[in-house]
Amino acid sequence: MLYDITHRTTYGYGSDVAVSHHLAHLRPRQLPAQQVDDFQLLVEPTSAVSAERVDYYGNTTTFFSIGSPHDCLTVTARSRVRVAAPASPAPSDTLAWQLVRDRCASDVLTPDSAVGEFRFESPNIARRSIFADYAALSFVQDRPLLEAIVDFNARIFQDFKFDPRATTVATPVDEVFKKRRGVCQDFAHLAIACLRSLGLPARYVSGYLETLPPPGKARLIGADASHAWYSVWCPDYGWIDADPTNNLLPGDRHITVAWGRDFSDVSPLRGIVVGGSGHSLGVSVDVARVAEG
Amino acid sequence: MTSPPVTSVVPSPSGVWAAYHPRAEVFDEMRAADGTVRPHWLPLVQGLERLGREGVRERAESALQLLREHGVTYNVHADGESAERRWELDVLPQIIDAAEWAQLEAGLIQRTKLLNLVLADIYGPQQLLQEGLLPPALLHANPGFLRCCHGIRPPGGLFLSLHAVDLTRAPNGRWWVLSDRTQAPSGVGYALENRAILSRVLPEEFRAAQVQRLASFFRQRKAGLRALAPWTSAPNIVLLTPGTYAETYFEHAYLARFLGYQLVEGSDLTVRDQCVFLKTLEGLQRVDVIIRRVDDTWCDPLELRGDSLLGVPGLVEAARAGNVAISNALGTGAVETTALLAFLPALSRHLLNEELRIPNVATWWCGQQSERDFALGALNKLVTKRAFVGGHGEPSFGGRLGARELEDLAAHIRANPHAYVTQESVALSTAPVWHGNAPEPRPLIMRCYICATVDGFTVMPGALTRVSPSAESPIVSSRYGGGSKDTWVRSSAPTGSAAAVESTAPALRPEVSASHVPSRVVENLFWLGRYAERLEDTTRLLRTALGRLAGEGGPTEEVELTALARWLARTEILDARFADEFTPAELASELRELVFERNRFGTVRELLGRVGFLANNVRDRLSGDTWRILNQLQTDFPATMSRATPGAILHTLHRLIFQLAAFSGMEMENMTRGHAWRFLDIGRRLERAINLVSNVRAVLAADTDGTALAPLLEYTDSTMTYRRRYLARPEMPTTLALLINDVSNPRSLVFQLEILGHHLAALPGADGTRPEQIHFEDLMALLRETDAQDFATQGVLGRARLATRLDEFYEATGQLSDLLTASYFSHVPARVS
């Protein structure tokens, strides 16, 4: 599937900002099942410095600064991305989840312990027994990992209500768990916290979702915003994506931009401004399928 | 190794040491197991014998006195409250023999080299993981491993340019490493201050012991810092502090002054074009090297903790671009983990081809299965600590925990094993600590410092030795009280004829150009000037009132007091009810509150607090003498005087005015005429102008018969001038002429404004067109056409016109302050996401 994606972020400031620094995770990743044909990042006002590099997780980041006074900022990312559905193993063919846990905990560096990075606490994720207990209903003894994940995803989908007003970008997982409400970012964080509390490696994925509102059918949640889901490590196979917000395993309608331990590693646009009292924020995302001849 | 011949001197039982009995099962630094004094302690032991109990106690007192004068403090944060605690220094030093020190030195340098190699690997190729020398989880579970710093190679490949190692001595006499401090090691300034004090308090003993000097270490440290920025021959080096609330802020200011570097806060720095700049009055000034006392994750809100207000946005990017050197490099907290200790012997063999010279205290990291199993089985004998930087909580001593507490601890470890490390419980060595009027043995930990030089590493010949708060407590931490000791490293050769006292004056070449003052600093100085003046002003006003209340209360005093109360009610110093009827007792109680009440706005006590806070913010800009005066202001002021008579309060106010005069005298006589001084004086002049206008205005409105004029002249310290000039009772026109228009009266309005004019013209960028200069010219023009004497002789109408003028002056001086703020002071960054 081929997509044209436009992701525009607009800041308005109450008074002039003297200088601002930003860090963007906006360029989609190049992956076996995802090819980036084109990417442009437009910053207005024009930035003084712009440096693109690959971060610790392999994401492409752009650092830019604006050194002259400005009272608004618009960052527009345009991507053309080709996505194929990744091949997935049959859930019943995957390893029992405890085996996965033990293999990833090895003191020796192996492909499985190398992803140990994603087993531990991170800035937005704490490991807690309440999370482990919640997940344990799906992760029963000897259950193949992916079977457990499918079941676990369905439970989050059932138990938690999508509610953009319930949380903000800074709401901790504990609160989401208590309120049973949130948005895609919260559900991804929650799922990751549960899996890590069991000792399984799980990472946060930030990206986009194509929304199809065919007549008579419900529109998929997550439209017109950036989307987030998670990945779990499956030995001998690799990372498998799971989207708890929509209760599915992503196919060719999820576009991967970046991954990390949690949102704080891959925030699409972070910024620090000097001056500028208060700010307003507008984000628009458009994911359009491109018809191919 | 050569040690001096063992002279066995058994201290006479009647002397100072009579009651000194270290426990047999631990190593005592001074006294050997057979009761003899270790030879390297002899000069001190004999010296103290000569001094006798009384003599030592006197020395201990003078040490305390010096600490007080120098204002050596340590901020303690507990239960959300912050308190400044006096630094505690024992009058008895820790002493190390030259040969033993040489061995420690070699071991410490080896350790710094080793940790640098480990850091270069984990922030680079991570071979150590592939070769099985470090378990992957040690990095993966480690919040001190900053992912965004992976791939950054600091200038010269040097990660640690200052390293601190906590050492402890086991009963068999061997030194062991307890832990490392790698990201922003603290204490080196306290060690320096300890030395400055002890070498003065015990000069003969210090000389007799031939103690190695600290100065060369700091010279080498400075050379090492310069070498961190090979791109320039004259690097600009700054010391980054989290600010006055930091635990060790005293040390930051002290070191900045001693080394001759600017003390800056995060908001003083800005990143442009991937380079770091200091915001100064003259504009941006490139910074090449940052000595940081801000912990790793707080250094850059853009790439690290987004909620940090202590950092510099873009700092990581500047470091990545190789445009700034940071001591220590960002991410060095990764090897501060105690968990690493268990792996160091193998790492040393692998990376250096050497055995580790100073062994570690036995350490088991619970992130490994078999180590965890062992630890869980022996928790009651072990010390459990958080494994990584930023881990909360203090060590748990298994032997002191009950069954339930041990179970809880085990549960925590099982739930999050990687976050815990256990260590063997070490019987710390003891040294004599002067307590009351005798020495008693207390456990100690010795913190040693290693720094990078131009071509290698060197160890500070001394240490920060910390002792536990009591003979029984195993906890040695500045947070929990307990004291510190100067650490004397004996020299193997005579130290020559150098003076016994080690100077702490900036003996090193100052590198700060006086003109490059950070904007934040001048803002603080401006407000220090304003508040010091407001404090003096308030004190003078209250003294004027109290003087009339404390006397015998003749008829003149009574009418003057009534007029004065009406005037002070108008300026809102006194409650409005004092404009009418009141009893002397009511006024006395109100005045007492205005002096001593802490929680009321504008009282002497409250203003003292503000002056202290602001002075602390610019501590590195104030001379030692100036600081001593400001410090004394605070300590001399009585905490409470609920029963004080007006006479006693009056005495307190007199003394305060003397001390404030000493402060302004110090400022006039001893401060370099740079922008720092200029802003301090601008603050003072502006405040004096504002207060004068405000009070004259109130007198004009409240006093129709001239009874308030004598108090007004007294408050403005112009009584004598008036008498000499007019040889008569004060009259309104002549009094106003003296206070408004007299260019020779240093308390007059025109005097303040003329000085302000000179200051404004000397500020950077002052070309006559700046808003504050234009505003000032208008104000001056208005004053020139205001002949107060003339107005005051024109009856009611003239007085009304004068009142309007005074309103205008009041307004305009306030606006001048706002314009200066907008023109010259810094902005604080905000965060968006």
Quick one: three-class SS letters along B313-349?
Answer: CCHHHHHHCCCCEEECCCCHHHHHCHHHHHHHHHHHH
pLDDT at B319 over 70: yes
Do B658 and B701 fall into the same domain? yes
pLDDT of residue B11: 54
Q: Which residue of A has its CA nearest to B368?
A: A107
Looking at the complex, does the CB of residue B647 fall below 8 Å from at least one CB of chain A? no
Do B471 and B551 fall into the same domain? no
pLDDT-derived band of residue B9, with 50, 70 and 90 as boundaries?
Answer: low
Confirm if B480 and B493 have CB atoms less than 8 A apart: no
Assess if residue B415 is contained within a domain: no
Confirm if A258 and A14 have CB atoms less than 8 A apart: no
pLDDT-derived band of residue A113, with 50, 70 and 90 as boundaries?
Answer: very high
Which structure tokens are listed for B403? 């069954």
CA distance B831 to chain A (A): 5
Do B559 and B484 fall into the same domain? no
Ranking A42-51, B58-67, B594-603 by mean pLDDT, the lowest is A42-51
Rounded Cα–Cα distance for residues B587 and B584 (Å): 5
pLDDT-derived band of residue B74, with 50, 70 and 90 as boundaries?
Answer: confident
Average pLDDT of chain A is 91
Assess if residue B149 is contained within a domain: yes
Tell me which of B146, B519, B826, B832 to substitute to probe the interface with A (most A C-beta atoms closer than 10 Å). B832
Examine residue A45 and say whether the peptide bond preceding it is cis (omega within 30 degrees of 0): yes
| Domain count for chain B | 2
Question: Which residues neighbour B663 within 8 Å (Cβ) at sequence distance 6 or greater?
Answer: B532, B626, B629, B630, B633
Confirm if A63 and A23 have CB atoms less than 8 A apart: yes
Burial A18-39 (b: 16+ CB within 10 A, else e): bbbbbbbbbbbbeeeebebeee
Which structure tokens are listed for B421? 């490390």
Looking at the complex, does the CB of residue A74 fall below 8 Å from at least one CB of chain B? no
Is A270 in contact with B306 (Cβ distance < 8 A)?
yes
Is A127 in contact with B416 (Cβ distance < 8 A)?
yes
Rounded Cα–Cα distance for residues A136 and A246 (Å): 21
Instruction: List CB contacts (< 8 A) between B304 and chain A.
Output: none
**What is chain A's percent helix, strand, coil content, to nearest 5?**
25, 40, 35
Assess if residue B621 is contained within a domain: yes
What is the pairing mode between strands B262-264 and B237-240? parallel
Instruction: List CB contacts (< 8 A) between B147 and chain A.
Output: 55-57, 261, 265
Confirm if B335 and B342 have CB atoms less than 8 A apart: no
Confirm if B471 and B480 have CB atoms less than 8 A apart: no
Looking at the complex, does the CB of residue B274 fall below 8 Å from at least one CB of chain A? yes
pLDDT-derived band of residue B826, with 50, 70 and 90 as boundaries?
Answer: low
Domain hosting B620: range is: 519-824
Is residue B148 packed enough to be buried (19+ CB in 10 Å), middle (13-18) or exposed (0-12)?
A: buried
Assess if residue B39 is contained within a domain: no
Ranking A196-210, B101-115, B713-727 by mean pLDDT, the lowest is B713-727
Do B445 and B563 fall into the same domain? no
Q: What is the pTM of this model?
A: 0.84
Do B534 and B464 fall into the same domain? no
B507-543 residue pLDDT tens = 444 455 545 788 888 888 999 999 999 999 999 999 9
Assess if residue B113 is contained within a domain: yes
Do B162 and B300 fall into the same domain? yes
pLDDT of residue B78: 41
pLDDT at B41 over 50: yes
Do B236 and B295 fall into the same domain? yes
**What is the count of residue pairs from A and B with beta carbons less than 8 Å apart?**
108
Q: Which residue of B has its CA nearest to A197?
A: B415
pLDDT at B292 over 50: yes
Do B478 and B600 fall into the same domain? no
Angle at which helices B624-636 and B42-70 cross, to 10°: 70
Assess if residue B498 is contained within a domain: no
When CB atoms are compared, the residue of A117, A129, A273 closest to B832 is: A273
Assess if residue B15 is contained within a domain: no
pLDDT of residue B689: 96
Q: Which residue of B has its CA nearest to A124?
A: B305
Looking at the complex, does the CB of residue B415 fall below 8 Å from at least one CB of chain A? yes
Rounded Cα–Cα distance for residues B418 and B144 (Å): 13
Looking at the complex, does the CB of residue B22 fall below 8 Å from at least one CB of chain A? no
Is A275 in contact with B314 (Cβ distance < 8 A)?
no
Is residue B167 packed enough to be buried (19+ CB in 10 Å), middle (13-18) or exposed (0-12)?
A: buried
pLDDT of residue B479: 56
When CB atoms are compared, the residue of A19, A113, A276 closest to B136 is: A113
Provide the 10 A C-beta neighbour count for residue B453: 17
B347-360 residue pLDDT tens = 999 999 999 999 99
Do B170 and B304 fall into the same domain? yes
Rounded Cα–Cα distance for residues B192 and B214 (Å): 7
High-pLDDT (> 70) share of chain B, % = 91
Do B120 and B251 fall into the same domain? yes
CA nearest neighbour of B687 among B520, B526, B522, B521: B526
Ranking A231-245, B20-34, B230-244, B623-637 by mean pLDDT, the lowest is B623-637
Looking at the complex, does the CB of residue A279 fall below 8 Å from at least one CB of chain B? yes
Assess if residue B24 is contained within a domain: no
Question: Among the three residues B489, B509, B541, which one is the final residue of a domain in this structure?
Answer: B489
Confirm if A200 and A101 have CB atoms less than 8 A apart: yes
Rounded Cα–Cα distance for residues B683 and B690 (Å): 11
Do B102 and B193 fall into the same domain? yes
Domains located in chain A, CATH noted: 2-84+267-289 (2.60.40.2250), 91-250 (3.10.620.30)
pLDDT of residue B335: 96
Is A271 in contact with B301 (Cβ distance < 8 A)?
no
Q: ipTM of this predicted complex?
A: 0.92
Adjacency order of strands within the sheet including B396-397: B363-365, B420-424, B382-386, B396-397
Report the sign of the C-alpha dihedral through residues B608, B613, B619, B621, in that order: negative
Do B479 and B602 fall into the same domain? no
Higher-confidence position of B81 and B226: B226
Which structure tokens are listed for A168? 């903000």
